[in-house]
Amino acid sequence: MAAPTSDLREWIRLLEREGELVRVATEVDPDLEITEITDRVVKSGGPALLFENVKGSKHPLLINQFGTERRMCLAFGVERLDDVAARLESVLEMQPPQGLVDKVRSLGKLKSIADSMPKDVSRGVCQEIVLTGDDVDLDALPIMRCWPGDPAPFITLPAVITRDPNTGVRNVGMYRMQKIDRRSTFMHWQIHKDGRADLLASPDGTIPVAVAIGLDPVTAYSASAPLPKHIGELMVAGFLKGSPVELVQCQTVDLQVPANAEIVLEGSVSRDDVGMEGPFGDHTGYYTPAEQFPMFRISAITMRRDAIYPSIVVGVPPAEDEWLAKATERIFLPAIRMSVPEIVDYDLPTAGAFHNCVIVSIRKRFPGHAKKVMYAVWGLGLLSLSKSVVVVDEGVNVHDYEQVFFHVCANVDPKRDVVLAEGPLDQLDHSPTLQAYGGKLGIDATAKGPAEGAREWPDPIRMSDEIRGLVDARWAEYGIPRRDV
Ligand X SMILES: Cc1cc2nc3c(=O)[nH]c(=O)nc-3n(C[C@H](O)[C@H](O)[C@H](O)COP(=O)(O)O)c2cc1C
CA distance 261 to 6: 10
Closest-approach residue to ligand X (CB)? 173
Helix (H, G, I), strand (E, B) or coil at 386: coil
Span 416-435, contacts to ligand X by CB under 6 A: none
Kindly report the length of the chain. 485
Dihedral of CA 209/210/212/213: which sign?
positive
Can you tell me which of 7, 39, 150, 194 binds ligand X, judged by CB under 6 A? Answer: 194
Helix (H, G, I), strand (E, B) or coil at 68: coil
213 touches which of Mn ion, ligand X, none (CB within 5 to 8 A by kind)? Answer: none
6 touches which of ligand X, Mn ion, none (CB within 5 to 8 A by kind)? Answer: none
For 446, phi then psi, to 5°, come to -80, 170
CA distance 326 to 318: 11
Of residues 326, 419, 427, 329, the one with CA closest to residue 380: 329
Q: Is 282 a catalytic residue?
A: yes
Q: Is the peptide bond before 279 cis (omega within 30 degrees of 0)?
A: yes
For Mn ion, the binding residues (CB under 5 A) are: 171, 194
- CB atoms under 10 Å from CB of 259, counted, come to 22
Choices 185-193, 264-272, 442-450, 455-463; region in contact with ligand X by CB under 6 A = 185-193
Q: Which is nearer to Mn ion, 224 or 311 (CB)?
A: 224
| Contacts of range 39-44, beta carbons closer than 8 Å, 24 or more positions apart | 39/313, 39/315, 39/319, 41/67, 42/67, 42/313, 42/318, 42/319, 42/320, 43/318
Rounded to a whole number of angstroms, the minimum distance from the CB of residue 352 to ligand X is 15
360 touches which of ligand X, Mn ion, none (CB within 5 to 8 A by kind)? Answer: none
Class of residue 352 by CB neighbours under 10 A (exposed 0-12, middle 13-18, buried 19+) = middle
Can you tell me which of 30, 124, 153, 195 binds ligand X, judged by CB under 6 A? Answer: 195
Q: Which is nearer to Mn ion, 223 or 313 (CB)?
A: 223
- Residue 173 in contact with ligand X, rule: CB under 6 A: yes
Rounded to a whole number of angstroms, the minimum distance from the CB of residue 484 to ligand X is 35
Q: Which is nearer to ligand X, 294 or 392 (CB)?
A: 294
Pattern 38-77, binding to ligand X, x per CB under 6 A?
Answer: ----------------------------------------
Dihedral of CA 378/381/382/383: which sign?
negative
Choices 38-46, 74-82, 166-174, 384-392; region in contact with ligand X by CB under 6 A = 166-174
224 touches which of Mn ion, ligand X, none (CB within 5 to 8 A by kind)? Answer: ligand X
Span 380-419, contacts to ligand X by CB under 6 A: 382
- Residue 190 in contact with ligand X, rule: CB under 6 A: yes
- Residue 224 in contact with ligand X, rule: CB under 6 A: yes
- Residue 312 in contact with ligand X, rule: CB under 6 A: yes
- Residue 118 in contact with ligand X, rule: CB under 6 A: no
Q: Are 63 and 311 in contact (CB under 8 A)?
A: yes
Distances (CA, A) of 25 to 18, 60, 61, 424: 20, 10, 11, 46
Q: Which is nearer to Mn ion, 171 or 184 (CB)?
A: 171
- Residue 356 in contact with ligand X, rule: CB under 6 A: no
Can you tell me which of 246, 321, 342, 426 binds ligand X, judged by CB under 6 A? Answer: 321
Distances (CA, A) of 308 to 63, 325, 438, 448: 11, 24, 42, 56
Rounded to a whole number of angstroms, the minimum distance from the CB of residue 411 to ligand X is 33
176 touches which of Mn ion, ligand X, none (CB within 5 to 8 A by kind)? Answer: ligand X
Amino acid at the residue 282: D
Q: Which is nearer to ligand X, 321 or 452 (CB)?
A: 321
CA distance 293 to 289: 12
Q: Which is nearer to ligand X, 229 or 369 (CB)?
A: 229
- Residue 188 in contact with ligand X, rule: CB under 6 A: yes
Dihedral of CA 340/345/349/350: which sign?
positive
Rounded to a whole number of angstroms, the minimum distance from the CB of residue 348 to ligand X is 13
Q: Which is nearer to ligand X, 171 or 284 (CB)?
A: 171
> Pick the catalytic residue: 39, 282, 417, 429?
282
For 373, phi then psi, to 5°, come to -70, -40
Can you tell me which of 163, 176, 337, 387 binds ligand X, judged by CB under 6 A? Answer: 176
Catalytic residues: 282
Which residues are near ligand X by CB under 6 A?
156, 171, 173-176, 188-190, 193-195, 224-226, 312, 314, 321, 324, 382
